[in-house]
Amino acid sequence: MFFDRRFSHYSLSSFRKDVLSGLIVGVIAIPLGMAFSIASGVKPEYGIYTTIVAGILISLFGGSRYQIGGPTGAFIPILFGIVMTYGYENLLIAGFLAGILLLLMGLFKLGTLIKFIPRPVTIGFTAGIAVTIFTGQIASFLGLSGLKKQEDFFLNMKEIFLHVGTINFYSVLTAILCLVIVLITPKIAPKIPGPLIGLVLSTVIATIFYPGQVATIGTSYGEIPNSLPNFHMPTVDIGLISKLLPSAFVIAMLGGIESLLSAVVADGMTNSKHNSNKELIGQGIANMIAPLFGGIPATGAIARTATNIKNGAVSPVSGVIHSIVVLLVLIFFASYASYIPLASMAPILMVVAWNMSEHHVFSHILKTKTSDSLVLLVTFLLTVFVTLTVAVEVGLALSVVLFAKRMSDVMITEKALPNHEHRHKKMQTKMVTDTHDCPQISIFNVEGPLFFGAAQTFEKTIMSAIDYRPKILLLRMSKVPLMDTTGEANLASIVKHFSKNGTVLLSGVNSQPKTVLKKTGLYEKIGEDHFFDHTGEALDFALAKIEKSRCIGCKHFAFHECEELSQSEGIETSRKLTPTY
């Protein structure tokens, strides 16, 4: 149904707009596909294959009207690591497994869960990836030779430092020329793709004026074939799957995050609404099929999607056209790609890295000097200096721990009494003193989520405060929005401890905590007649249960009934507490 809606009211005019936008985005995608592929440690044509196969499938089966799919910079560190460790063939298997995971995430409607990944984690690893991409292009920019490819950041920097003496002036000149064109083209001709112009002009100049002086795609990777590779099903075994599954999971998570971020950007630019679960299904299908044709993992590309929209795209047809354009270029112009200098590819990737780093957001979060700053910094540093997999795992774990800490800090468990100076005699904390407290009734205001991060403090506060053994314990819980099983267990401990010599009452319990209490059986154990909607009702019940003889002579006067009870010998009071407590 969603597929049909994306093509609703389609016309010949719409098709013309899609052809124009698809043509422009296709032209932009060609240098980026090759650059991302080379940076990932594989041949440039594999990026082209990905753009063609995955691009079509993501447009047809995805959940966004405007999404452009293909290889992106976010994958570079993880793909490079897989290639270095397991080789290109096993990268295809990892991509296929990631496709299965994405497909399952979509089918089980987990698309909305990705939005719960904290922003400091995504900004942290995105900035880390940007640093990895940028520094990975320094050698090509300078034309250094004799370097060994390293997965580790420090080892890469060491290789560059050791071989800095091999700097190639012609490579630097070519890279600077391409960089200048990439940077100034959007300012003087926004409609023209700067990366393509920079690539073509720098290649032409290098070929005419100093041929053979710089490393090219042809000299480094051989000639690019002018056709798609044959369908190939990789050989898989259980042992290999278990080794590649962690990497596949990271690819799937990255792909899911980036594709949905791209879809959200598209929604904002067009006032439309994507289907997140359908988008994951489309991404899953694309990443399962692309490896069978030699393609590397793909996802939604934010910059290409935005360009697609700016050039008038109205449907997924533009995404299909963009892939067809890349296919036609591959068939008719593949041989010319061999002349492209690696130094021309380097500045394109450096600009991509700078744009994806989100340096303004990064610095803004750092300046807040909050726990988010710590999560951001840890995720960033681990991405650069360890691995992306570790960075995401630690970043998420640290976010959960810090969130639990923050939530436990807002948890309030304090004794309360009516404020007689308030016209409604509102129940407030900070009213209890040594001379103003009820020896028989202890009332606690409980505020905040009663979960694993705060439950122990909740129990400890109450247990220490009721050491003098009051007869009634009243817990006011109207401001407890939720309770988990840990919170329930701590409450059960209080009930068990206190019920031996007294009575536990609860007022204002919300629906979610009440449901938990009923499921665990604690609701029945406390007793339905000990649950009250309002504090006034609970206090009426409590006052009826106290030992009136102990009230004689008491000067605490915690409640407005106390003065009469203090002066009356064994006389039952019929006065009821007003419902404003």
- Which CATH code for domain 410-567? 3.30.750.24
Helix (DSSP H) and strand (DSSP E) numbers for the chain: 25, 8
pLDDT of residue 189: 87
For the chain, what are the domain ranges?
Answer: 23-358, 410-567
Question: Mean pLDDT across the chain, nearest whole number?
Answer: 89
Q: What is the dihedral of CA 96, 102, 106, 108, to 10 degrees?
A: 90
Closest CA to 287 of 251, 320, 234: 251
- Provide the pLDDT confidence category of residue 425 given band limits of 50, 70 and 90: low
Q: How confident is the model at residue 229 (pLDDT cuts 50, 70, 90)?
A: confident
- Residue 172 pLDDT exceeds 60: yes
Average pLDDT of span 378-397: 91
- On the question of pLDDT at 163 being above 80, the answer is yes
Angstrom distance (rounded) from CA 230 to CA 222: 19
Residue 414 backbone dihedrals phi, psi, to 5 degrees: -135, 150
The rounded percent of the chain whose pLDDT value lies above 90 is 65
What's residue 568's pLDDT?
Answer: 59
Categorize the per-residue pLDDT at 412 as very low, low, confident or very high, splitting at 50, 70 and 90.
confident
> pLDDT-derived band of residue 572, with 50, 70 and 90 as boundaries?
very low
Q: What is the pLDDT of residue 577?
A: 42
Confidence of residue 6 (pLDDT cuts 50, 70, 90): low
What are the strands, taking DSSP E only, across 71-154? none
Which amino acid is residue 439, in one-letter code?
A: P
Name the least confident of 14-18, 36-40, 148-152, 420-424: 420-424
- Which pLDDT belongs to residue 581? 45
The mean per-residue pLDDT over the stretch 522-528 comes to 94
When pLDDT is cut at 50, 70 and 90, the band that residue 570 belongs to is very low
Q: What is the mean pLDDT of residues 458-487?
A: 87
Q: What is the pLDDT of residue 502?
A: 87
Q: Which of 255, 302, 257, 306 has its CA nearest to residue 283?
A: 255
Determine contact, residues 540/577, Cβ cutoff 8 Å: yes
**Overall average pLDDT of the 200-214 stretch:** 95
294-338 pLDDT tens trace: 999 999 999 899 999 999 999 999 999 999 999 999 999 998 999
Q: With 60 as the cut, is the pLDDT of residue 400 above it?
A: yes
Above 70 in pLDDT, residue 133?
Answer: yes
**How far is it, in rounded angstroms, from Cα 26 to Cα 55?**
10
- How high is the pLDDT of residue 152? 87
pLDDT higher than 80, residue 557: no
